[in-house]
A and B are shown apart, each in its own frame.
Chain A
Amino acid sequence: MNRAWLGWIVLAVGMTGACSRRATGPAEAQPKAFGAALVLVSGDKQAAGVGSLLDQPVVVQANDEKGTAVAGALVKFAGAGGVTFDPDHGLTGSDGQFSTNVSLGGVHGRYQIVATTRDSAGRKAEIRVDEIALGYQETLGKQVSDIHCVRCHDSESTPERVSNHDNLSAQAHAFTDGATPNAMSDADLAAIISHGGAALGKSAEMPPYGNTLTKPEIDALIGLLRALADPPYRPQGIFYAGK
């Protein structure tokens, strides 16, 4: 009788073991060193289409209390809204840096990703990095901007596209500079794009594009400006009389 029970128990345990699917993910790396703070090296405020991979990796660096880079510290990345990381955790390299490729979620707008590390006492140090996912409208705006706007509004030159920014007497605002456009309404922005700078008492060096661009294209440009703005643009929304 006892032996029979033992047999059943062995069988049950064996079945459970065989049927349960163990998570066979890579074992989490053990930190070899500990950092007290994380700093961003590069890769913040990138803009890419919804759901897609950012052009540049996000690179963070782990530092100790004195601010020197720590190699072998464990860094973990996390983000809400469907952000994925490749890889999402790992040890910092000999330069104290850890780099990950980030794909954004399927909804357009801003994404905040968080990189964390723990010091030897287990205290958490983290850094937050903003990235921007462009929806259809903003993507269209980016295409329009690449043709008509960036040569003056972006002061960076590339071999393929030399910037005209410094040749102007008025300094064209970078599209990432939110301070000025955030204070302007959509209607004002549409007016300055359509009728040129002179129409709003600004420099005539900004030409009117009202006969060149269609209304959806102008709306798309405004959408792009709103998406890229830093500090972020907060729409005023609709106000109704309260009860």
Chain B
Amino acid sequence: MSLPQRVRSAWRYLFGDAASAFGTLSAVLLIVLAIVPAKDYFREWLGYQKQYLRLIRGRGDATSLSRRFQGGLQQIWMPDLGVVDRCTTCHTALKEASLVDIKTEPFRPHPAIPHRLTEFGCVICHRGQGAATTVEEAHSSTKSWEEPILPARYLEASCGQCHLDRPMGTPRLNQGRDALAQYGCVRCHTIKSPDGVIMTGSDAPPPLLHIAEKTTREWIAAWLKNPQSYAGSATMPNFQLADDETRDISAFLIAQSTSYPSHQGPEPAPAASQDAAALQAGTSLYGESFCSSCHAMQNAAGMLVGGNLGPELTRAGSKVKTGWLAEWLRDPKTYDPDTRMPRYRLDARQVGLLIGFLSSKSDSDFLGTTQLAAATAAQIEHGKTLVIERGCANCHAINGVKKPENFAPELTLVGSRPLEKILFAPGVPHTLADYIGAKIRQPRSFGNALKMPQYTLAPQQIGALETALLAQTQLAQTLPVSLRIPGRASSNYRPAGKAGQLIDDMRCFSCHKINGYGGGMAPELTWEGSSVQRAWLVSFLKNPNTLRPALIRRMPKFDVTDAEANILTDYIMTVYQTPAFDQETTDASRFTAADAEHGKELFYGKYACQSCHIIDPKKDRGYIGPTLTQVGARLTASWISHWLKNAQSLRPGTSEPVWNMSDEDARAVTAFLVAQKNAPRKEVAQR
């Protein structure tokens, strides 16, 4: 059989004669044509829409629900935000509050948030692929589209794309941003906010320029080996150094250390008093000086008690040399000009007592019996190489080593890093959040040659850091500037003159904020001059007494002289005045006894101020706010009156609610409070 014949017979075998072939072909054509509408009919989203209609059919408000339902492909399109979202095609009930009992996706109503869906769409917050119309493509990362949905625990990251302030509703993002600054991440990695501001560290890594004066080489080596074994709360990470590396780095750090212009007062450095009575007195002095407002120590139960502004002192006796400690207690600034530690005006006896107390806080296990042999020149040279390699100078000032630039990869856009450019360590799920988490958790799991040190962080802290880093997206840079909520600009306020020197000397800004500059531990003092009376302020500066009994962080006593107290008081009374009182001042001399009596009724009755304040220590018990037994000698009448009306306007964030008192009520309560002057103070200021 020739070839055409074979084909013909095969044709006949398959399709029969021409007529039946025509019939078969028609049937095939019909089926092929039917595929298109069938594909359309069986589309995934259409199924969800039908499911939704079935879901609402039996409900009481079915009519209004179905009236609001819009079938077909839905789309939110906002060209200026770059948003094309088709999520509402399946998520049909996002705005239906009455479906609150529905817990299954995609029909769950959206929980309450401060933004409207129509203003921002979905993917700006949730990420994923808004334009996709299948479940997989919209939510997972596929070959062509690799942005998956952001897991719920990181959702606050999306708020951080616009919100550079600290919104109250995003505690995790705020915690993460704080941690980036507090753990020194930003000292090696450049991280720019979307507004171009480079994040700066809030930790205070000590300079190492004169380290040999402060501690021993053995301590440095042991600390480098594992900082957390010295102090569990240490923020310095573990660089996982080998023994010979800690030996050589400590050799170099001691070798580069220079002497510093120490105070060398008239009296020689006092010897540490070690007998039991002195130790007792030293313990008391540590407490009375409120050292624990900034420094933590482990108590007998192993709990860390105290503030975190300064280093933990649990094992301080194993660290510092007593000669250095004496100098440091006399004037910390000579050793570290940028320290947050104030200059206490301690006398030689007090310094001796504190040295005795702190020396007793030693731990023989920490240093063990390590004895390092004298360093060779080669070891010192190797130590310097290691210091440069590990980037120690990113945080610490070191003689002969410059602060490196661009030491670690910039993380400004880490939240948009394409997955294809990431090398995942074995066992890490292929998502950006998991990658960032694994990097923070175990940096060296990505390769032993990596420089990033090992941090000791709680899972919550790692989650917060992941959230803050996921906020660093490309989108944050390209969103319209009008959407950006700027963070608080940093203030370079510094007071001038003699008072400025005193404020610097006592490091008031370590705890107090004035004109936007300073710490947040103690009350803001921007308008302190309008608030308090002159005589009270002088005596308070000389001997700060407790205003708020429930607080454990207290203002230390600096033993300022009369002259110093007067200089500071004059400055505060003149400069730190609010303009708000110019229009409306309250003259205390015009109050009558009837005013005060009415005020007392209001105080105890209508406003129930005794819930939080104490006027009569025998009867009142509230201790959230300051004790008011002597408030008439402390605050000005104008301040009290304005405070009663709107305390938040005077000191934003205070616990005092805005009472919005009428003029009459405010006048009466002020009259009552101004009269609270009992137990006049002994130390009245002498000009």
Contacts and interface: CB of A to CB of B under 8 A. Distances in A.
Interface of A: 49-53, 55, 81, 101, 103, 105-109, 135-137, 139-140, 142-144, 147-148, 151-152, 159-160, 162, 164, 167-168, 198, 203-205, 207-209, 211-212, 216-217, 219-220, 223, 235, 237-240, 242
A55 B460 contact: yes
Sort A-B residue pairs by CB-CB distance and give the 3 closest, nearest first.
Answer: A51-B153, A106-B152, A51-B152
A52 B170 CA distance: 13
Interface in B633-647: 646
Given A51-B151, A167-B623, A239-B60, A162 B611 contact: no
A55 B171 CA distance: 15
23 contacts: A49-B153, A51-B155, A107-B152, A136-B111, A136-B113, A136-B114, A136-B155, A137-B111, A139-B169, A139-B170, A140-B168, A167-B622, A204-B608, A207-B607, A207-B611, A207-B659, A208-B659, A211-B657, A211-B660, A220-B169, A237-B100, A238-B61, A239-B60
Given A81-B103, A162-B623, A216-B114, 9 more contacts: A49-B153, A55-B460, A135-B112, A136-B114, A164-B624, A168-B622, A204-B607, A211-B660, A238-B61
B163 to A, nearest CB: 13
A168 B657 contact: no
Contact of B98 (A107, A142, A211, A237): A237
Nearest to A219: B112
B108 interface: yes
B98 A238 contact: yes
B658 interface: yes
Interface string B150-161: 011111000000
Interface in B152-182: 152-155, 168-172
A49 B463 CA distance: 11
Interface string B255-273: 0000000000000000000
A165 to B, nearest CB: 11
A interface secondary structure, majority: loop
B20 interface: no
B112 A137 contact: yes
B172 A143 contact: no
Interface in B112-169: 112-114, 151-155, 168-169
Contacts of A162: 550, 623
Interface of B: 60-61, 98, 100-101, 103, 108, 111-114, 151-155, 168-172, 305, 459-460, 463, 550, 552, 605-608, 611-612, 621-624, 646, 648, 653, 655, 657-660
A162 B552 CA distance: 9
A164 B613 CA distance: 11
Contacts, number: 118
The residue in B100, B111, B648, B655 that gathers the most chain A C-beta atoms within 10 A of its C-beta is B111
Given A50-B153, A164-B611, A212 B460 contact: no
B422 to A, nearest CB: 22
Nearest to A197: B608
B153 A205 contact: no
A144 B623 contact: no
Nearest to B60: A240
Contacts of B152: 50-51, 105-107
A55 B460 CA distance: 8
Given A205-B608, A207-B608, A237-B98, A140 B103 contact: no
Contacts of B151: 51, 106
B608 A52 contact: no
Contacts of B463: 52-53
Contact of B552 (A159, A204, A238, A242): A159
Contacts of B101: 237
Nearest to B64: A240
Contacts of B100: 235, 237
A168 B608 CA distance: 10
Contact of B657 (A52, A160, A212, A217): A212
B606 to A, nearest CB: 6
Contacts of A137: 111-113, 169
B166 to A, nearest CB: 10
A107 B153 contact: no
Contact of A208 (B171, B605, B657): B657
B611 A106 contact: no
B272 to A, nearest CB: 30
Nearest to B647: A212
A147 B655 contact: yes
A164 B153 contact: no
A53 B655 contact: no
Nearest to B114: A216
B612 to A, nearest CB: 7
B153 A52 contact: yes
Contacts of B60: 238-240, 242
A137 B112 CA distance: 6
